[in-house]
Amino acid sequence: MASSGEEVMGWISGVMGAPAASETSGTSDPSGWLTDLFGGIITETGIRVSVSDALQVPGVAAAVQVLADDLAKVPISLHRRLPTGSEVAKDHPLHAMLSGWPAPWLSSFQWRRTLIHNALTRGNAYSRAKRSAEGVISRLTLLQPGSTTQRWTDEGEPFFDIAGPSGERGLSWQDVLHVPYRASSDGAVNGGILGVSPIAQHKEMLALCIATERFAAKFFKNGARPSAVIEMDNKFPDDTTAARIRAGLERTYGGVDNAFRIAILELGMKLKEFSFNNSDSQLVELRKEQATACAQIFGVPPHKIGILDRATFSNIEHQGIDYVTGPVSALARGLETAVETSCLTTDERQEYFVEIDLDDLKRGDMLNRYRAYAIGRQWGWLSADDILAWESMNPLPEGKGKTYLTPINMAPAGTDTSRDDGPEPKDKQER
């Protein structure tokens, strides 16, 4: 029978989203539930950095949002391998969940955006995979961050324990979909895989960002005026008088709403401000560099979070392509393989695969797209219906758009183009 202490710890675990009381975490490399429970990771600045604190930094929030949104808004589908190419497996139940609704109340967009958000901020994202009595995948639901812990066998096979009302323990990799960010064996055992939180990895830099934001807020809270001292020839009669005067000045003249009010001093006092301004501290430049560093943490080019200092018409398109082929494609591949691992059997993986189509993120402007379509149409590898499909338009009626053109001035290599093997003209035959 559980003791009262164990019952209390179990209740706290359920409320805080922490693992069961039997699960432990070291302090040198604390688990996510432990850092959240105690308000984040303490840094050299003395500022605690938690996920919620880091997301208050504009650069972090923008980088996480742009990556999560981009991965959520592009098409995702299940494909069946064919002898030549592949086709969308519309008859498989997993395709309907991935492209539509993983659960009746949860859209594919929200499911993917939340998964990627959790992976980027906490290093690991988890989703519960439910199956029917026949073993067919039937539902995908989200798991609360911090509620899932992993264990590994001697071979590195993972098992998952979920805290909270369900209290499920020992779930296999077919029951829990795991998306690790910057996956590594650090923090795991026996060759297991665990993600790395960028917030925990770069806690000192993020602490400086938080300190800068708090400094700017305090500065403007005090009416955008620096600290000041009061000078007088004589001493205050007692500490009570000094405290009364200071409190009165702070209450009357401190804060943005009290800016530019006239100070009234007594007892021959003089108000002396410290010589300080934000230009000397380069506060604007510092905040901009910190935003760039936040984007660098997640591999996001600065222009994606609104910093256009080094963006030009000639390089911004290529920066966008590098963004898609770099961090976005890596996250997409991680999500694809996670779905295949948990939602498909080993036999089904030989026949099916999951694909996230990133082409929409690489689309150029309309003029360049139409020029590319014209080249493909003229050289015979694109039909009119192919082009319309790329532009999300309906095909031409009566199959008129299925024709592929063939350039008349082209011939297979090695063909003698000086000979005309076709039929003779009719006028020559009559002669």
In a domain, residue 425? The reply is: no
CA 222 to chain centre: 36
Among candidate residues 207, 179, 183, 204, the one with its CA nearest the CA of residue 194: 183
How far is Cα 334 from Cα 207, in angstroms, rounded to an integer? 29
Q: What is the pLDDT of residue 241?
A: 79
Same-domain pairing of 128 and 43: yes
Q: Compute the mean pLDDT over every residue in the chain, rounded to the nearest whole number.
A: 79
Same-domain pairing of 111 and 35: yes
Other CB atoms within 10 A of residue 294 CB:
26
Strands (E) located in 165-286: 176-180, 228-231, 270-273
Confidence band, pLDDT 50/70/90 cuts, at residue 423 = low
Q: What is the pLDDT of residue 26?
A: 45
Among candidate residues 21, 23, 25, 22, the one with its CA nearest the CA of residue 35: 25
In a domain, residue 247? The reply is: yes
In a domain, residue 321? The reply is: yes
In a domain, residue 421? The reply is: no
Q: Mean pLDDT: which of 4-18, 25-39, 95-109, 298-312 is highest?
A: 95-109
In a domain, residue 129? The reply is: yes
Six token digits for residue 242: 């000094």
Residue 395 per-residue DSSP state: P
What's the whole-number mean pLDDT along residues 54-79?
92
Same-domain pairing of 17 and 164: yes
Same-domain pairing of 104 and 198: yes
Same-domain pairing of 245 and 377: no
* Residue-number span of the structural domain to which 207 is assigned: 1-217+278-363
Q: Is 13 a residue whose pLDDT tops 50?
A: no
What's the whole-number mean pLDDT along residues 85-93?
91
Same-domain pairing of 283 and 247: no
How far is Cα 96 from Cα 337, in angstroms, rounded to an integer? 18
Same-domain pairing of 343 and 393: no
In a domain, residue 315? The reply is: yes
337 to each of 93, 126, 148, how far by Cα in Å? 18, 14, 20
The dihedral sign for the CA sequence 203, 207, 210, 212 = negative
Same-domain pairing of 199 and 311: yes
Same-domain pairing of 210 and 252: no
Tens digits of residue pLDDT in 267-318: 677 776 655 555 555 677 778 888 888 888 999 988 888 887 776 766 777 7
| C-beta separation of 101 from 128 below 8 A | no
Please list, in sequence order, all residues whose beta carbon lies within 8 angstroms of the beta carbon of residue 362, skipping any fewer than 6 positions away: 320, 321, 324
Six token digits for residue 166: 């369900």
Same-domain pairing of 370 and 251: no
Among candidate residues 152, 182, 145, 167, the one with its CA nearest the CA of residue 31: 145
How far is Cα 198 from Cα 184, in angstroms, rounded to an integer? 13
User: What is the per-residue DSSP string for 163-192?
Assistant: -SSS---SB-TTTEEEEESS-BSTT-STT-
Domain count of the chain? 3
Q: What is the pLDDT of residue 413?
A: 63
Among 82-96, 117-131, 171-185, 352-366, which is the least confidently predicted range? 352-366
In a domain, residue 65? The reply is: yes
Same-domain pairing of 243 and 285: no
Same-domain pairing of 240 and 382: no
Among 13-22, 226-235, 342-351, 400-409, which is the least confidently predicted range? 13-22
Q: What phi-psi label fits residue 53: left (phi over 0), alpha (psi between -120 and 50 degrees) or beta? A: alpha
- Strand-pairing partners, residue 25, are none
Six token digits for residue 383: 């039909």
In a domain, residue 427? The reply is: no
